[in-house]
Amino acid sequence: MANPTKTTIVELPPKPRARAKLGLAIVDYATSWVHFTAADKQKIADSGLAWIDARLRSPGSGKILADARAMGLELRGHDWDGETPPGKSWSIADEASGRVDGYKAAVRAIAAGVSVYSANFEVDVWRGEKPGYANPHADEYMEAFFDAFDERTRGTGMRVRYLGFSNPEYFYKTSDLDLDGHPDNTIPGWLLDGRIEGCSAMVYQGQRTAIRKTLDRARKVWSDKLVEAYAGTGRVDAAGDCIGNDAAWTEIAKAGEVPAISFYVGYTAKDNRVQPWETIVRGSKWHRPIVDLARDVLTTPAAS
């Protein structure tokens, strides 16, 4: 009897990931966006950046989004949400304030006409009164916030995301101060069940290893719900330390290590050696222009 034909199993190389989609997140108009000339705005429009994400409570955000609309870019919005006592730095965010804040955020987002709203939950939600510990009611605040936001925006097609500390275990000590059985310093499981689109992880480091470490920590919690990196970009302090790393983000974007990146230029500040808005179209010796980075990522052929 003839030997049966031997089957050869050929392992195919893994399918390459799509390059990250890129956008721009900006806070204020009066000290940042107002500096742009018509030529600067045209550079942004021609760079391949896909969206502008404006802080909706910041004066002039409507002017930023109007320009974005004229450029043909997607309109997105975010706000710093949460509650602190007058003159204090810890959070008193709870279920009741979450309902109010979520409703107000939805009203602002609808009025602005954005397609994506990112609820920016940082220290005003997470920081507890007890030093080093998380606010024990942060999970209740977030659940009430997103429930109220969903009720008000249902049927509009608007997507909503968590933006902030992607893995608060690295910021706060483990505790259960309200005795609800849920560690105060962890992302509650219901945030991962599809109620929101996912997480935009804040990444405000300047070193390549630190950037990747932050993304790895975010993946430990969010896995495929990590939909975007919110990359602090271009600000240089008096000591010459730069937030952001153009080479690292170029590598990450080309490799598709995250689905999307918003380059967040932040506030203008007097002690910055390079104002963050300058990084968008002019660049500096610390960081090349974001418009050039985007064009490189989106148009340079992949290495064979």
For the chain, the domain total comes to 1
Residues 197-221 have pLDDT tens digits of: 999 999 999 999 999 999 999 999 9
Q: How many helices (H) and strands (E) does the chain have?
A: 9, 8
Whether 14 maps to a domain, the answer reads no
Whether 11 maps to a domain, the answer reads no
**In this structure, what DSSP letter does residue 191 have?**
G
For the chain, what is the radius of gyration of the CA atoms?
21
Whether 10 maps to a domain, the answer reads no
- Structure confidence at residue 12 (pLDDT): 53
Whether 35 maps to a domain, the answer reads yes
Domain that holds residue 154: 21-299
> What is the separation, in whole angstroms, between the first and last Cα of the chain?
47
- Average pLDDT across the chain, whole number: 91
Whether 112 maps to a domain, the answer reads yes
Identify the H or E element spanning 247: helix 246-255
Q: What percent of the chain has pLDDT over 70?
A: 94
The residue-averaged pLDDT of 234-262 equals 91
Whether 1 maps to a domain, the answer reads no
Helical spans, DSSP H, in 113-197: 123-126, 138-153
182-205 burial, b at 16+ Cβ within 10 Å, e below that, comes to ebbbbbeeebbeeebbbbbbbbbb
Residues 1-31 have pLDDT tens digits of: 555 555 556 555 555 679 999 999 998 887 7
CATH label of the domain that carries residue 272: 3.20.20.80
The residue-averaged pLDDT of 116-138 equals 95
Label the pairing between strands 51-55 and 74-81. parallel
Residues 52-111 have pLDDT tens digits of: 999 999 999 999 999 999 999 999 999 999 999 999 999 999 999 999 999 999 999 999
- Could you tell me which of 69, 3, 73, 61 has the C-alpha nearest to residue 34? 61
Q: Which residues pair with 116 in a beta bridge?
A: 76, 159
Whether 16 maps to a domain, the answer reads no
